[in-house]
């Protein structure tokens, strides 16, 4: 297969990943939760939060699940996959939310959507990955 060629049923997409600390907050609410709620409000296809077991960021201080004293602020990644147009339209939301720092990556990818067996009447494109 040639690089960049979509598989049958696949569609070009953009993966947005936002890396923040687990303890970072937005108006007394976890920042990662605010990111998910804003992504949903923007109508993006879906968002998932992944908690790291160990990592370090700009401070070079290692946070790990293995040491109780350092486990309060584990790394968290919020991942959203949608069309490039929709992801790029969402980026201004991050300006406000990440004013205190954070890392954002954008990666081109290919999205393959499998229809859910409990919704055979809905086309995969309509579902957009929502569950």
The pLDDT score that the predictor gives to residue 40 is: 98
Regions of the chain short of the pLDDT cut 50: 1-2, 6-7, 70, 123-127, 129-131
Residue 125: its pLDDT value, please?
A: 45
Over residues 44-68, the pLDDT tens digits come to 999 999 998 877 766 666 666 555 5
Dist CA 62 CA 102 (whole Å)? 16
Beta strands in the chain (DSSP E): 10-21, 25-26, 29-30, 47-51, 54-55, 63-64, 75-82, 103-112
This prediction's pTM: 0.76
**What pLDDT shows up at residue 3?**
53
């Amino acid at each position: 297969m040639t690089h960049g060629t979509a598989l049958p049923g696949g569609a070009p997409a953009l993966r947005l990943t936002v890396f923040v600390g687990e303890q970072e907050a937005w108006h007394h609410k976890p920042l990662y939760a605010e990111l998910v709620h804003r992504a949903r409000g923007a109508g993006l296809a879906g968002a998932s939060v992944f908690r790291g077991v160990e990592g370090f960021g700009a401070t070079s201080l290692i946070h790990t699940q293995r040491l109780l004293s350092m486990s309060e602020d584990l790394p968290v990644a919020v991942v959203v996959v949608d069309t490039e147009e929709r992801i790029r339209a969402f980026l201004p939301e991050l300006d406000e939310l990440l004013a205190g720092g954070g890392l954002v990556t954008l990666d081109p990818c290919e999205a393959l959507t499998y229809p859910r067996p409990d919704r055979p009447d809905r086309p995969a494109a309509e579902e957009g990955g929502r569950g």
